[in-house]
Amino acid sequence: MSVLLEARNVSKTFGEFCALEGVDIAVSAGELVCVIGPNGAGKTTLVNLLTGLLAPSTGDILFMGKSIAGMGPVKLADQGLVRSFQLIAIFPRLSVMETICTALVARQKKRWRLFSRLAADKEMAARAAEVAGIFGLERRLETTAAALSQGEKKLLDVASAFALDPRVMLLDEPTSGVSTADKHAIMDILVAAGRKAGVDGIVLVEHDMDLVAAYSSRIVALSGGKLLADLPPEKFFADAALIDAVVGKRRGH
């Protein structure tokens, strides 16, 4: 399997505080890698480094073999590395169609278009409807984001990112706030949509161990800013001490 996204001996300090120290991870084609750890483990810092929001203090981040350290999420999206950006929190009054079109505008660099004109673009509207259909939102195209169920909002968040045609996608707790009964259904849709849309790799930050066990190819466990484990799920869940170290100390995200 070819390596798509890689962190090499990455550390990040904020003043005297070391949030991440000497972390190495690699995401290869076909993998769904779950990043887990207790509160303060360094999960958010790692994702911010991987998506270019932060530059590492030491070490390097590579995407498709090229350094992307601190490049920024907009440039990285053009390269094919996308993070779910929760447009619905920014534009809750946009419809499902308009929300996905907004992402398409960013991808096509048509940033001068007004939102009110987006749906009139037939080609863009057709693509937005196609993306909505992949996520089961085809009947909600004219519904405002604010009026969607919590599960539908989560799907729309990710659909907007999928509209950018990413090779690698980073998802930060995509089922948070969703009922336990709906979590697996949403993850099933996300994984199936990723395959259908041609996404080669997914990095998932998640604290629900049922989801981690069910969907991960590998589990990257962090604790105290250090890499605690990088294992396939069967080996991770066979180690009771490791589970206690990661889950037992968790105090929320």
Residue found under tokens 């270019």: 52
C-alpha dist (Å) from residue 232 to 8, 165, 168, 228:
20, 27, 19, 13
CB 63 within 8 A of CB 79: yes
Domain ranges of the chain: 1-80+167-174+198-253, 85-165
* pLDDT > 90 in the chain, percent: 59
The CATH architecture assigned to 1-80+167-174+198-253 reads: 3-Layer(aba) Sandwich (3.40)
N-to-C CA span, the chain: 31
Predicted pLDDT at 138: 94
Predicted pLDDT at 253: 39
pLDDT tens sequence across 131-162: 999 999 999 999 999 999 989 998 998 898 88
Q: How long is the chain? A: 253
Q: Which residues pair with 20 in a beta bridge?
A: 12
Predicted pLDDT at 7: 96
pLDDT tens sequence across 1-10: 689 999 999 9
Phi, psi angle pair for 147, to nearest 5°: -90, -5
Question: In the chain, what's the furthest Cα-to-Cα distance?
Answer: 57
pLDDT tens sequence across 51-97: 888 999 999 999 999 999 989 888 888 889 998 866 667 788 999 99
